[in-house]
Structure 1
Amino acid sequence: MKKDDLRVYPSPQQLGEMSLRGRNLSWQPPYQKLTPLTGKHRSKQRGRGLDFVELRHYYAGDDVRCIDWKVTQRTGQPYLRVYAEENDKNIALLIDLRTTMFFASDGQMKSVVASEAAAIAAGAANHHGDRVGAVILTDDGIVTLPFRRGEKALFALLSAVSEHANKLPNWEAPQKGKPTLADGLQHLVDMGLKESQCFIFSDFNDYNKQQASSMIDTLAHRNSLVGVCITDPLEAQFPQQNIVLGNNDYQVELKKDDKESRARFEHYIQQQKLDLQQHFLRHRLALLNLTTHQNAWEQLWSMTRPA
């Protein structure tokens, strides 16, 4: 596959553009009423705190009171002095970039949708002065990026996400001991997060009610969670033709007239989806469903724009 196909492999520039779009996206209503931290996030009014963070370019919608006129006059371009308020918080991104995410029947790979959605969330958080960190789930292990704020930190995060997404598929990784979604969630739990905003970008294919659900319970007790489930229509319903499925170890042929096997598979997928939805609903957490067949930004914007 061509590495320059942005539907297959995201570039840092592509993710940077998504992060800029994230400045226009609000994770407040309708999510605020669904999360246990309603009202605990600091005010949207930025730039009037005590701790200086950085100088950055002015973007439409920024507080003009924070423009640094001396720098603006010297450079000929509007610059903003960014300050952090005392009650900012950590934004934790759990990004699933395992080989199972390297799939799409049309549109973009699940790994690309996850990377772009994570970039959008990171851009929104950075715009509001929050510290952003990430836990990247790969076939070889778990990669942790520390909580940092500022544009340099944001670009470093996006570059790391792009780097790991561009390593897919990793067929050489040993099957035994490969990290699971539960492992990634446990990693978040072990970080001792408190009053943070956590995003989970995954297809949730290996979501386990006994393991993963208990860790989501623990995280939701002290934090606000948003699940972003990325799927492909082909995963829910196979086409009506003979198909062959396989990996490094096994290969299975599913015939178009094998209605019983198809029905069992579709029931399993629907039940897993229902379990996940009910679990998030129990904690009044937001669970967003994205598809590979549509643009990541357009999907998120349609879900979060003001009514």
Structure 2
Amino acid sequence: MKQKARELLIKTRRRLFGPNVGNNISAFAGNGIDFAELREYRYGDDVRRINWNVTARAQKPYVNVFNEERELNVVVVFMLSGSIYFGSVRQKQEVMAEVLGLLSFAAVRNSDRVTTLFFDEGVERLFKPTKSQKSLYAALEHSLSVEVLGKRCETAALVDYLLKGIRERSIVVLVGDFYEMPDFSTLAARHELYVAIVRDRFEEEPSFEGEYDLLDPVTDRHNRIDIDEGVLSAFRERIRSHDEALREHFAKHRIASTKIYTDEDPFIRLKELLK
């Protein structure tokens, strides 16, 4: 496992610290998060600070002005569940580890502090805030070696922990497969929230028939099921309905999200998420 962690570390750092700076993941949005006022745009202002709603109403550009610029506190949450122990191309757990590495090193590259939290029914492990690249390797290695079978991420307990444990407004990135419906409304009101959903295409579009003895990786229960096209169609529809409810919840509370499949390059999806 240490060898795999080293290989992933090398791959991650090559993407973020290579010569092609323009291809790197953007810095996290949120610098200067203490809002002060609006003023008209001046030549040289950062276009990312344009307030488009006010600009549209006033018919001339306005920008957001903040009280201070400061380093960000970035919290990456690795949501532990038995369901991430699966993959037809790569295991979801490995892809989530790569996402963790890319996010963490992107933040450190931007001179921000990174906290890494592994959570199931409670805190499995917490890596304290750091700006050191060396310190991130331990979290990356743990993400690949931690036992996930039989575990379930309790999102209500996670939200409660983050609300009580993070006092300053922070960037919070949740990484998991999100097969349960969460309520992130209060968390999104307090912090700047991003969600990376890691899935395998076979999970969403299964194509096999017959009688199977299936093991639930979360509960460790065996179920013998006779699977036909009717069962598969109902399952696919259930997944689509669940994901649509997720999208609506994220949109309502202005939570940025992306879905990353195990046959995709997480780097590309994260670049889109953080634009």
Tell me, yes or no, whether TM beats 0.5.
yes
**SS of aligned partner of 1:204:** coil
TM-score normalised to the size of structure 2? 0.73
- Alpha-carbon distance in 1 for matches of 2:239, 2:254: 23
Match for 1:234 among 184, 188, 202?
202
- What is residue 254 of structure 1 aligned with on the other side? 226
1:68-107 alignment, distance < 5 Å: 87-105=70-88, 107=89
Change (3 A) 1:267 1:193: farther
Number of residue-to-residue matches in the alignment: 232
Change (3 A) 1:279 1:181: same
Match for 2:5 among 4, 11, 30?
11
- Match for 2:33: what amino acid? K
- Alpha-carbon distance in 2 for matches of 1:243, 1:291: 27
**SS of aligned partner of 2:26:** coil
**Shift of residue 99 of structure 1?**
2.1
Match for 1:205 among 169, 172, 179?
179
- Deviation digits for residues 137-182 of structure 1 (CA, Å, limit 9, x no counterpart): 2589521111121223222332332332xx45x3xx5x7xx54233
- Alpha-carbon distance in 1 for matches of 2:112, 2:255: 21
**Shift of residue 120 of structure 1?**
0.3
- Alpha-carbon distance in 1 for matches of 2:139, 2:227: 44
1:119-138 alignment, distance < 5 Å: 119-138=101-120
1:183-198 alignment, distance < 5 Å: 183-198=157-172
- Match for 2:215: what amino acid? G
- What is residue 33 of structure 2 aligned with on the other side? 40
- Alpha-carbon distance in 1 for matches of 2:106, 2:26: 7
- Match for 1:295: what amino acid? D
Gaps of 5+ in 2: 18-23, 35-67
- Match for 1:21: what amino acid? R
- Deviation digits for residues 174-205 of structure 1 (CA, Å, limit 9, x no counterpart): x7xx5423333332222134321110100001
- What is residue 93 of structure 2 aligned with on the other side? 111
- Alpha-carbon distance in 2 for matches of 1:160, 1:97: 12
- Alpha-carbon distance in 1 for matches of 2:193, 2:111: 19
- Match for 2:192: what amino acid? S
- Match for 1:161: what amino acid? S
- Alpha-carbon distance in 2 for matches of 1:143, 1:190: 17
- Match for 1:87: what amino acid? R
1:165-180 alignment, distance < 5 Å: 167-168=147-148, 170=149, 173=150, 178-180=152-154
- Match for 2:248: what amino acid? Q
- Alpha-carbon distance in 1 for matches of 2:155, 2:144: 20
**SS of aligned partner of 2:225:** strand
- Match for 1:188: what amino acid? L
**Shift of residue 297 of structure 1?**
2.4
- Match for 1:153: what amino acid? S
- Alpha-carbon distance in 2 for matches of 1:224, 1:16: 29
Change (3 A) 1:180 1:20: farther
Equivalent residues of 1:15, 1:115 under 8 A apart: no
Gaps of 5+ in 1: 42-84
Equivalent residues of 1:202, 1:229 under 8 A apart: yes
- Alpha-carbon distance in 2 for matches of 1:285, 1:184: 16
- What is residue 218 of structure 1 aligned with on the other side? 186
**SS of aligned partner of 1:25:** coil
Task: Please report the RMSD computed on the Cα atoms of aligned residues, expressed in angstroms.
Answer: 2.9
Equivalent residues of 2:256, 2:273 under 8 A apart: no
TM-score normalised to the size of structure 1? 0.66
Equivalent residues of 2:74, 2:170 under 8 A apart: yes
2:127 is aligned with 1:145: yes
**SS of aligned partner of 2:257:** strand
- Alpha-carbon distance in 2 for matches of 1:225, 1:252: 40
- Deviation digits for residues 90-139 of structure 1 (CA, Å, limit 9, x no counterpart): 1001112332101112x211111111011101011001111100111258
Equivalent residues of 1:181, 1:204 under 8 A apart: no
Report sequence identity in percent.
Answer: 20
- What is residue 26 of structure 1 aligned with on the other side? 26
